[in-house]
Structure 1
């Protein structure tokens, strides 16, 4: 019985040391359109950019480093999906944005579900299923030097857009925490 406890304790210590090889926290910073740093976010804070600016997400944990540049641009409102049979939004308007994700170092899983709409009052909306706004941002595994681009769509009340933000989730163990925002 003592051997089992000792083996478990050894495994726990090994795991703890491996996790200590970097915080694993996702940090973010914002750059302007020309690539110059506009605002750097200190560790454990969340950067806020303007729509059209690029946010750099960095994660260094468990011996692996990932650096990703994400741009959210061209916020447009639509009262229905394009096409003859386009559906109408249930909550007010479709908010459609162009997203570009570039993996600069390491790997990254780009996914439209990494983004959320956050209203001024804190109400969070997940992306809407839409077939009319093309091209979609598809879930894609990226390696260093690769990129993907497409549209993300939210079905939100029109009044919620003023003061609203687009949130991107963190990487790795921070997948459920906001990494950065784009102010609308």
Structure 2
């Protein structure tokens, strides 16, 4: 390989790496909401987040380098508990355990369903990660899903009662957008 070919190869590699780091062609996750009242709400074409109500299904779509992922996620059954089930169940540190039922169905591509894909976001923007409360069964476990597969389980947040008013459940995006909010369910 001569010097000119080496420089061109290096320049192409740097360009691709810069595009990926900056999000060019990142396969932004889009989302839409359906269920509940039977109406479907589509997210705007630019990267935005859909907002549904507890019990509605949100569809996440992502495409990157020809690989398309479509997953339907439903968050429902929101219940508050002041103690974990069982004789030795712990009490929440912040007020209540908010327990939700999650179902993820992979319609196309591959999807890693994980309880850590979800966060509780209070009205003031305070974000709460999932609580360590293992007494609520069945738990949602990290699972790789292929098209046609599904998983379900419970996720738990330890939040103050006041934070519940106006609170939302956030789900992260798919693939390269996994650290970006993709959609929310309003409580």
- TM-score above 0.5: yes
C-alpha distance 14-45 of structure 1, shift in aligned 2 (>3 A): closer
Deviation at 1:130, TM superposition (A): 1.3
The alignment yields a C-alpha RMSD, in angstroms, of 2.2
Partners in 1 of 2:77 and 2:169 — Cα distance?
A: 12
Paired residues, number = 183
- What is the aligned counterpart of 1:89 among 72, 88, 92? 92
Match of 2:63 in 1: 60
What residue is the counterpart of 1:77 in the other structure?
80
Distance 1:17 1:130, change over 3 A: closer
Task: Quote the residue 1:31 is aligned against.
Answer: 34
1:104 to 107, 110, 113: 107
What's the offset of the Cα at 1:12?
A: 3.6
Query: Gaps spanning 5+ residues in structure 2: where?
Result: none
Alignment partner, residue 7 of structure 2: 5
1:18–1:81 Cα change, 3 Å: closer
TM value normalised by structure 2: 0.90
Q: TM-score, normalised by structure 1?
A: 0.92
Q: Which residue is 1:129 aligned to?
A: 132
Which SS does the other structure have where 1:173 is aligned? helix
Structure 1 residue runs without a partner (length 5+) = none
Q: Residues of 1 paired with 2:74 and 2:67: CA distance? A: 23
